[in-house]
Amino acid sequence: MKPTLFIIIIVLLLTTLGCGITVNNPRVETGATQTLELDETLPSTAGVSEVTIEMAAGTLNIEPSADDKLSGRVDYNVPSWNPTIKRDSGSLTLSQGHDRNIGNITGNDIINDWDLTLGNQVVLDLTINAGAYKGRLDLSGLRLKRLEINDGASDGDVKFNVPNPEVMEKLVYRTGASKVNLYGLANANFTEMSFDSGAGDYLLDFSGTLNMDASVDINSGVSSLTIIIPDGMHALIYNSGAITNVSPVGTWTVSNNRYEAAGDGPTLTINIDMAIGNLKLVHR
């Protein structure tokens, strides 16, 4: 059977099955709005502070600050989502309990707004676990040794506007059916990155300063994915998945499923395993 025909059959089958599926959105009970004020000094053992942020569904905004603290506030009106703080000599966890597979939630005027700042005076091993959220994570200038983000159906931006002063050993992003934009990824200063997603709309912008060779593994389902490589950066992109709808924009050297953007200095190598959808490669 031809690959194109096989894909059409799969899509039609999924559409047919979908007509008979009833989605029961989880329901939560709300109450009076409560506020948790935060002003926590980040612990550090062996020079690294392990920080974990776990939230249910809502809004999440994080900005950098010129101190050594996790600060801000959480406004919520779901009593069962009462945030707790747990800490020891080397770690701090702000947790609400979470299920990153949470999608739409029914209820009366749910409020769950997180506005946080993270200090750039401490080396961080940062993990963010969230359900369905909308927000903006500005991690510019944070001293990140490791970063892991796991979320459900999110609509968010992650930004690295200035370089990470530390070498990031690993950057991990896992998401469900989402709309996610990652900006300034070269400034994250990672050596390895993995991006795993379901259906959705994704932008990975590798603008910034690439200080060393770096590798990226991308696994995505039925999605629209745009990758931006800035002018002057040497990049090799390998399409190892089933997708054939690839649109290169700008100047590329193409050989079979290999796309190369000419440039000097370190090399960014990206391996893409994508099922069906749209893959746009932009060199500018």
Has residue 164 been placed in a domain?
A: yes
Q: For residue range 195-250, list pLDDT tens digits in order.
A: 999 999 999 999 999 999 999 999 998 999 999 999 999 999 999 999 999 999 99
Minimum mean pLDDT range among 15-29, 131-145, 177-191, 262-276: 15-29
Sheet holding 214-220, edge to edge: 84-87, 91-95, 48-55, 123-130, 143-150, 170-174, 192-197, 214-220, 263-274, 232-239, 258-261, 253-255
CATH number at residue 168: 2.160.20
What is the model's pLDDT at position 108?
54
Q: Give residues with Cβ within 8 angstroms of 18, minimum separation 6.
A: none
Residue 97 binned pLDDT confidence (cut-offs 50, 70, 90): low
Residue 27 binned pLDDT confidence (cut-offs 50, 70, 90): low
Residue 7 pLDDT > 50, yes or no?
A: no
Q: How many domains does the chain have?
A: 1
Residue 185 pLDDT > 50, yes or no?
A: yes
Torsion of CA 41, 47, 49, 50, to 10 degrees: -160
Q: Going by DSSP bridges, is the β-strand pair 34-41/246-249 parallel, antiparallel, or unpaired?
A: unpaired
Has residue 197 been placed in a domain?
A: yes
d(CA 107, CA 27): 6
Has residue 19 been placed in a domain?
A: no
Has residue 21 been placed in a domain?
A: no
Has residue 6 been placed in a domain?
A: no
What is the model's pLDDT at position 256?
92
d(CA 251, CA 224): 21
Q: For residue range 62-95, list pLDDT tens digits in order.
A: 999 999 999 999 999 999 899 999 999 999 999 9
Q: Which secondary-structure segment (H or E) carries 118?
A: strand 112-119
Q: Is 81 helix (H, G, I), strand (E, B) or coil?
A: helix
Has residue 23 been placed in a domain?
A: no
Q: Give residues with Cβ within 8 angstroms of 254, minimum separation 6.
A: 248, 260
Has residue 234 been placed in a domain?
A: yes
Residue whose tokens read 């745009």: 226
Range of the domain at 177: 35-283
Has residue 91 been placed in a domain?
A: yes
Whether this model's pTM surpasses 0.85: yes
Residue 43, Cβ neighbours under 10 Å: how many?
17
Q: Going by DSSP bridges, is the β-strand pair 69-76/112-119 parallel, antiparallel, or unpaired?
A: antiparallel
CA torsion sign for 255, 259, 260, 266 is: negative
